[in-house]
Homo-oligomer: A and B are copies of this chain.
Amino acid sequence: MPARDLFHNAVRHGLEKEGWKITDDPLSISFGGVDLYVDLGAERLIAAQRGEEKIAVEIKSFLGMSVITEFHAALGQFLSYRLALTARDPQRKLYLAVPDDTYNEFFQLEFTRLAVKDYQLKLIVYEANTEVIVQWIE
């Protein structure tokens, strides 16, 4: 299986294990003249609120040559998708899924922490081999 699909499936299965129903793979959003595609859309019942929680998840593997180049692409995608979701589907929360090793190294740098804070990125940290969601970071 190509590495990209391996990471994609890890997050998909990790979400399913936590009770999420995958509704879109990918989730398309048409807005303001462009068609955007976020990797996954998912929903989960919140019994206490008698409602449904909806999320969109962009999955990054950080397997490429340069972690900073991949981070730039991820940051641009996240902020672009958030603009479109705010207009088209404001109840849906957007997350960036990152592998645990990348989170434990690159995402602990002062630069990355400031970027995550300033641009209010929400993160899902996942473990690719075990297909488990390790952490949700709002």
Contacts and interface: CB of A to CB of B under 8 A. Distances in A.
B71 A73 contact: no
Interface stretch (A17-25, A32-40, A44-52): A32-40
Main secondary structure of the interface of A (DSSP, over half): helix
Interface residues of A, number: 28
A6 interface: no
A79 B80 contact: no
Given A72-B73, A73-B72, A73-B73, A110 B79 contact: no
Interface string A76-97: 1101100110010000000000
A27 interface: no
A75 interface: yes
Contacts of A32: 109-114
